[in-house]
Chain A
Amino acid sequence: MEPKYVSQEMRDYIIEMGAETITWCMQCGLCTNLCPWRLVPGETSEKFSIRHMLRLGQMGMEGFEDETVLFACSTCGMCQSNCPRGVKIIDNVRSMRASIVGAGMAPANLRPILGSAHANGNPWSGPREKRTAWQEGLDVPKFGPDTEYFLFVCCHSCYDPRSTKIARSIVKLLKKAGVSFGVIGEEESCCGESIRKVGDEELFQKLASSNISLFNDRGVKKIITTSPHCYWTFTNEYPELGGEWEVIHYTQLLAQLIEDGKLKLSKEVTRKIAYHDPCYLGRHSGVYDEPRKLLNSVPGVEAIELERSRELSLCCAGGGGRIWAEVPMGERFGELRVLDAIEKGADMLTTACPYCMNMLLDACKTLDKQDVLEITELSEVLAEAVED
Chain B
Amino acid sequence: MEKKVGVYICQGCGIGDALDVEALKSVATDEFDVAVCKSHECLCHKPGIELIKNDIKSDGVNVVVIAACSPRVMYDVFDFGSDKIVERVNLREQVVWSHPPQDEDTQMLAEDQLRMGLAKAAEVELPEPFVAEDLSKKILVVGGGLTGMVAAREAARAGYDVVLVEKEPELGGYLRKIYKLPPATPPYEKPEDVKLDEFVSEITSLDKVTVYTNATVASIEGAPCMFDAIIVQGSKEIKERVGAIVLATGAVPYDASKLEHLGFGKYSDVVTIQQVEEMFLSGEVKRPSNGQPVNSVAFILCAGSRDPEHLPYCSSSCCVEVLKQVSYFKENNPDCTVYVFYKDLRATGVYELFYKHLQKQKVFFIKGDVTGIEDDGSGNLVLTAEDNLTRSPIMTEAVDLVVLATGMVPTTAFGEPYKAPTSEEGEEVEEVPPDTILVSNLLNLKYRQGPEIPALKYGFPDSNFICFPYESRRTGIYPAGSVRSPMDYVRAIDDAAGAAMKAIQCVELTSQGKAVHPRAGDTSFPEFFMQRCTQCKRCTEECPFGAINEDEKGNPLPNPTRCRRCGVCMGACPERIISFKNYSVGMIGNMIKVINVPDEYEEKPRILVLACENDAYPALDMAGLRRLQYNPWVRVIPLRCLGSMNIIWIADALSKGIDGILLLGCKYGDDYQCHFIKGSELANVRMSKIKETLDRLVLESERVRVEEVSITDYHKLPKILDEFAEKLEELGPNPYKGF
Nearest chain B CB to A58 CB, angstrom units: 8
Interfacial chain B residues near A85, Cβ < 8 Å:
356
User: At the interface, yes or no: A61 with Cβ under 8 Å from chain B?
Assistant: yes
- Pick from A12, A23, A24, A51 the residue with the most CB of B within 10 Å: A23
Q: Are A6 and B395 in contact (CB under 8 A)?
A: yes
Q: Is B689 interfacial (CB 8 A cutoff)?
A: no
**B-contacting residues, A253-272, CB 8 Å:** none
Is A63 touching B390 in the complex (CB atoms < 8 A)?
yes
Per the CB 8 Å criterion, the residue count for chain A at the interface is 25
Name which of B209-217, B360-368, B439-447, B631-639 contacts chain A.
Answer: B360-368
The yes or no answer to A52 lying at the interface (CB within 8 A) is yes
For A24, list chain B residues within 8 Å (CB): 356, 359-360
Q: Are B390 and A7 closer than 8 Å at their CB atoms?
A: no
A55 touching B337, Cβ below 8 Å: no
Say yes or no: is A2 at the interface (Cβ < 8 Å to chain B). yes
Tell me, yes or no, whether B738 is within 8 Å of chain A by CB.
no
B364 and A6 contacting across the interface, CB-CB below 8 Å: yes
Instruction: Report which of B360, B366, B387, B397 forms a contact with A8, defined as CB distance below 8 A.
Output: B397
Contact with A along B323-341 (1 / 0, CB 8 A): 0000000000000010100
Query: Who on chain A is nearest to B362 by CB?
Result: A23
In Å, the complex CA distance between A29 and B550 comes to: 62
Q: Determine whether the beta carbon of B390 is less than 8 Å from that of A59.
A: yes
In the bound complex, residues from chain A placing their C-beta under 8 Å from that of B687 are none
The one of B337, B364, B394 in contact with A4, judged by C-beta atoms closer than 8 angstroms, is: B394
Chain B: interface residue total (CB-CB under 8 A): 24
Contact status B356-A55, CB under 8 Å? no
B102 at the interface (CB under 8 A from A): no
Question: Does B512 reach chain A (CB closer than 8 Å)?
Answer: no
Residues of B close to A177: CB separation below 8 A: none
Q: Is A26 an interface residue, CB under 8 A from the partner?
A: yes
- Are the C-beta atoms of A56 and B390 separated by less than 8 Å? yes
* Least Cβ–Cβ distance between B333 and chain A, in angstroms: 14
Contact A5 B394 (CB under 8 A): yes
Q: Which residues of A contact B384 (CB under 8 A)?
A: 3
- The reply to whether A59 and B393 contact each other, CB–CB distance below 8 Å, is no
Complex contacts, A4 vs chain B, CB 8 Å: 387, 390, 392-395
A27 at interface, CB cutoff 8 A: yes
| Interfacial chain B residues near A108, Cβ < 8 Å | none
A7 proximity list for chain B (CB < 8 A) = 397
Is B73 in the interface zone, CB < 8 Å from A?
no
B396 and chain A: residue at smallest CB distance = A6
The yes or no answer to A1 lying at the interface (CB within 8 A) is yes
B429 contacts the other chain (Cβ, under 8 Å)? no
The answer, among B362, B366, B390, B394, for a CB contact under 8 Å with A52, is B390
- Name the A residues within 8 Å of B396 (CB-CB): 6
> Any chain A CB within 8 A of the CB of B698?
no
Establish whether residues A26 and B393, one from each chain, have CB atoms under 8 Å apart when the complex forms: no
Q: Are the C-beta atoms of B362 and A59 separated by less than 8 Å?
A: no
Interface membership of chain B positions 355-396, coded 1 if the CB is closer than 8 angstroms to chain A and 0 otherwise: 110011111111100000000000000001001011011111
Question: Which residues of chain B from 431 to 455 have any CB-CB distance to chain A below 8 Å in the complex?
Answer: none
Cα distance A51–B390 in the bound complex, in angstroms = 9
What is the minimal beta-carbon distance from A20 to any residue of chain B, in angstroms?
9
Alpha-carbon distance A26/B367, docked complex (angstroms)? 10
How distant is the Cα of A59 from the Cα of B356 in the complex, in angstroms? 17
With A6-B364, A59-B364, A85-B356 in contact, do A27 and B389 touch (Cβ < 8 Å)? yes
CB–CB B392/A1 < 8 A:
yes
**When the two chains form their complex, are residues A23 and B393 in contact, meaning their CB atoms are under 8 A apart?**
no
Contact of B393 among A2, A12, A25, A56 (CB under 8 A): A2
Inter-subunit contact A61/B394 (CB<8 Å): yes
Interface string of A12-40 (1 = CB under 8 A from B): 10010000000111110000000000000
Which residues of chain A in 210-260 are interfacial with respect to chain B, using CB atoms and an 8 Å cutoff?
Answer: none
Chain A residues whose CB sits within 8 angstroms of the CB of B355 once the complex forms: 26
Query: Which B residue's beta carbon lies closest to that of A5?
Result: B395
Q: Report the separation of the CA atoms of residues A348 and B387 in the bound assembly, to the nearest whole angstrom.
A: 49
From B393, which residue of chain A is reached at the shortest CB distance? A3
Q: Which residue of A lies closest to B337 (CB)?
A: A8
User: Do residues B394 and A59 form an inter-chain contact, with CB atoms below 8 A?
Assistant: yes
**Among B367, B394, B397, contact of A3 (Cβ-Cβ < 8 Å):** B394
A224 to chain B, nearest CB (A): 39
CA distance A4 to B363 in the complex (A): 18
Q: B400 → chain A, closest Cβ, in Å? A: 14
Using CB atoms, name the residue of chain A closest to B363: A23
CA distance A201 to B359 in the complex (A): 27
Chain A residues, Cβ within 8 Å of B366 = 59
Q: Is B390 within 8 A of A23, CB to CB?
A: no
A26 touches B359 (CB 8 A): yes
Contacts of B393 in A (CB 8 A): 1-4
Interface-centre pick from B356, B360, B389, B393 (highest chain A CB count, 10 A): B389
The minimal Cβ–Cβ distance linking B402 to chain A, given in whole angstroms, is 15
B397 and A6 contact, CB distance less than 8 A: yes
Q: Complex: how many Å from CA A7 to CA B395?
A: 9
Residues of A within 8 A of B361 (CB): 23
* Shortest distance from the beta carbon of B151 to any chain A beta carbon, whole Å: 37
Least Cβ–Cβ distance between B254 and chain A, in angstroms:
27
> With the chains together, A15 CA to B362 CA distance in Å?
10
Tell me how far the C-beta of A208 lies from the nearest C-beta in chain B, rounded to whole angstroms.
29
When distances are taken between beta carbons in the complex, the residues of chain B under 8 Å from A23 are 359-363
Residues of A within 8 A of B360 (CB): 23-24
Residues of B within 8 A of A2 (CB): 393
Q: Could you tell me the distance in whole angstroms from the C-beta of A216 to the nearest C-beta in chain B?
A: 36
Please give the distance in Å from A159's CB to the nearest CB on chain B. 42
CA separation between A11 and B364, bound complex, in Å?
A: 10
Chain A, residues 186-214, CB within 8 Å of chain B (1/0): the string is 00000000000000000000000000000
User: Which residues from B are CB-within-8-Å of A8?
Assistant: 337, 364, 397
Instruction: Kindly provide the distance from the CB of A22 to the nearest chain B CB, expressed in whole angstroms.
Output: 9
The 8 closest A-B pairs by CB, nearest first: A3-B395, A3-B393, A55-B389, A23-B362, A23-B359, A6-B396, A27-B389, A4-B394
Q: Which residues of B line the A interface, CB within 8 A?
A: 337, 339, 345, 355-356, 359-367, 384, 387, 389-390, 392-397
CB pairs A–B below 8 angstroms (23 shown): A1-B392, A1-B393, A2-B393, A3-B384, A3-B395, A4-B390, A4-B392, A5-B395, A6-B339, A6-B395, A8-B397, A23-B359, A23-B361, A23-B363, A26-B355, A26-B356, A51-B389, A55-B390, A58-B364, A59-B387, A59-B390, A59-B394, A61-B394
Taking A12-B362, A61-B394 as given, write out 5 further A-B residue pairs in contact, using a Cβ cutoff of 8 Å, ordered by the A residue number. A3-B384, A4-B395, A6-B364, A15-B362, A26-B356
